Structure 1
Amino acid sequence: MSRYGGPVLLCLVGAAALRITLFGDLYLRYVQASLRPYLITSGIALILLGLTTAALRSRTTDDHDHDHHNHGPRIAWLLTLPALALLFFPPPALGSYSAEREAAQRAEQGVGAFPALPAGNPVSLTLAEFSSRAVYDSGRSLTGRTVRMTGFVTSGSDGGTWYLTRLMVTCCAADATTSKVEIRGEDAPLTDTWVTVTGTWHPKGRLGSDAAWPPVLDAKSAHAVRQPSDPYETP
């Protein structure tokens, strides 16, 4: 790599980190909001390190010695491509492909009573909240309630079933897990379309069993919406 290859790469990575954190909500596709200050700090540190390294190398007086010892393979410049891609073409949030990679097998959790839902209909719930109550709530708190949830569309293996899906992250996109609810009574939108669905719980299976998963919602309405700035649910 040429004399300034390393510093340029550091600056590109730092600029990419700042681009997704300082000028919008793109960073929420990859990490939780609480990690934003660390991304900003890292981006600034990388740029300063790159500029400092470039300044030090520009003072090198023995060019022959520098070329002899530090000139690496030109193919190393390919390392700049991922940084440029993140800087100018940030990848989208995880979608249906990531959701479908996770197996539907889930360890059985303890069945028990959940706190009462807020008054009024419809009540807005995350997919994780709805799924937990539908599968494990011995008090059947969803009975008779109209709920509203937002997620993206994934398709079942039979081609006719569709699910409202959301990914949950604890720290970053790498640890994402899937919550999904089977939607009945409405035609399936295109895969990966974000929709808000309103409807009522359709009980199935024994509480806490595999037969109760995934939970089912009898939809009263479903309409397309824009992807939220934070596409992931948090615990």
Structure 2
Amino acid sequence: MRRETQNVLLVLLGGALLKISFTGTYLRYVKPAHQWLLIIAGVVMLALATVAIARDLSTRRPPSPHPDEHHEPTPEELSVPPSSVVTGGRRPTHDHGHHHSARSAWLLVLPVLAVFLVAPPALGADSVQRAADTAPRPVAEEDGSALFPALPPDEILTLPLSEFSERAAWDSGNSLDGRAIRLTGFVVREGGAVYLARIAIGCCAADAYPVKVRLEGGDLARHPDDSWLQAVVELVPGSATRATDYVPAATVTSLHPVNEPEDPYEH
């Protein structure tokens, strides 16, 4: 691959990183705390490309104003390597493997095209349906209530879907019983059941896992998969068990469509 092409790739990669960092698209791939790392990486790539382009321009030799002028050979040009005797005066070439590395380098164009042309959406209902294990991560083996702080006495309490699922499955203090909880997530249908789901990530979308709550009641038929809802629910006590893969059920008291959040994942 030519140096000019390498420099262009560096510019494109650095620009792609800065684009997703400043437009918020990076939230589809990594957690919010990683934004500054992406910005630094993009700036470094652009700086390297700028330095390389400037060096190439400064070392480029201008054409001779007198092409017919006699050129005296330099001592380096007069020296003939011993290998030229074997090769009939031609310098041997050693380009083994360069073709393969050049083809591999062109693969760097793919993420750039993905960012600028076909940026994939955030993980949604299809990822939940294909997940092999949808149980929330256990937070305790015996008395989970010791790990959960007391909930504030709000009339309607807003909780992340992951915390709601963990409390429903592992809080032996039954802190959710009889409480009105506001949840936000997208619709997922599996068989005859309708779930409110969210994708949780630890570091990036590669380690994502789904969290979901089965909804009972409410006008759910008119909401298709991947539509975002804000639901006020009450936990069905004892619904998050081993038999249900620790997925709780909740009775819907109110339901409202909402736009997809800027950060669609839970962390």
TM-score interval for Structure 1 and Structure 2 normalised by the shorter chain:
0.7 to 0.9
Deviation of residue 25 (structure 1)? 1.7
Find the aligned partners of 1:47 and 1:100 in 2 and give their Cα distance.
40
Partner of 1:192: 226
Partner of 1:29: 28
Partner of 1:140: 174
Partner of 2:134: 104
Partner of 1:174: 206
Partner of 1:11: 11
| Per-residue deviation, residues 85-123 of structure 1 (Å, max 9, x unmatched) | 213442211112222332235676424223221112210
**Structure 2 counterpart of 1:12, one-letter code:** L
Structure of larger gyration radius = 2
Matched, 1:219 2:252: yes
With over 3 angstroms needed to count, the CA separation of the structure-2 counterparts of 1:106 and 1:183, relative to structure 1, is closer
With over 3 angstroms needed to count, the CA separation of the structure-2 counterparts of 1:212 and 1:173, relative to structure 1, is closer
Find the aligned partners of 2:51 and 2:99 in 1 and give their Cα distance.
20
Deviation of residue 127 (structure 1)? 0.7
Find the aligned partners of 1:104 and 1:16 in 2 and give their Cα distance.
33
Matched, 1:131 2:160: no
Contact persistence 1:112–1:138 (CA under 8 A): yes
Find the aligned partners of 2:21 and 2:244 in 1 and give their Cα distance.
42
With over 3 angstroms needed to count, the CA separation of the structure-2 counterparts of 1:19 and 1:174, relative to structure 1, is same
**Structure 2 counterpart of 1:176, one-letter code:** A
Deviation of residue 11 (structure 1)? 1.0
Find the aligned partners of 1:19 and 1:141 in 2 and give their Cα distance.
44
Contact persistence 1:135–1:212 (CA under 8 A): no
| Per-residue deviation, residues 120-150 of structure 1 (Å, max 9, x unmatched) | 2210011111101111111111111110000
Partner of 1:54: 53
How many residue pairs align between the two structures? 225
Stretches of structure 1 that go unaligned for 5 or more consecutive residues are: 63-67
Find the aligned partners of 2:2 and 2:210 in 1 and give their Cα distance.
45
With over 3 angstroms needed to count, the CA separation of the structure-2 counterparts of 1:105 and 1:147, relative to structure 1, is closer
RMSD, aligned α-carbons = 2.7
Contact persistence 1:182–1:216 (CA under 8 A): yes
| Per-residue deviation, residues 175-220 of structure 1 (Å, max 9, x unmatched) | 1122100111121411111111111111235x66343621011011
TM-score by length of 2: 0.75
Deviation of residue 7 (structure 1)? 1.2
Contact persistence 1:195–1:225 (CA under 8 A): yes
Deviation of residue 47 (structure 1)? 1.1
Find the aligned partners of 2:18 and 2:135 in 1 and give their Cα distance.
38
With over 3 angstroms needed to count, the CA separation of the structure-2 counterparts of 1:226 and 1:3, relative to structure 1, is same
Find the aligned partners of 1:84 and 1:54 in 2 and give their Cα distance.
22
Contact persistence 2:184–2:231 (CA under 8 A): yes
**Structure 2 counterpart of 1:220, one-letter code:** T
TM-score by length of 1: 0.84
The structure showing larger relative contact order (alpha-carbon pairs under 8 Å, at least 6 residues apart) is 1
Find the aligned partners of 2:226 and 2:156 in 1 and give their Cα distance.
24
Find the aligned partners of 1:81 and 1:107 in 2 and give their Cα distance.
35
Find the aligned partners of 1:226 and 1:193 in 2 and give their Cα distance.
8
Using the aligned pairs only, state the percent identity. 39
Matched, 1:230 2:263: yes
| Secondary structure of residue in 2 paired with 1:16 | helix
Find the aligned partners of 2:60 and 2:260 in 1 and give their Cα distance.
51
| Secondary structure of residue in 2 paired with 1:4 | helix
| Secondary structure of residue in 1 paired with 2:3 | coil
Deviation of residue 78 (structure 1)? 5.7
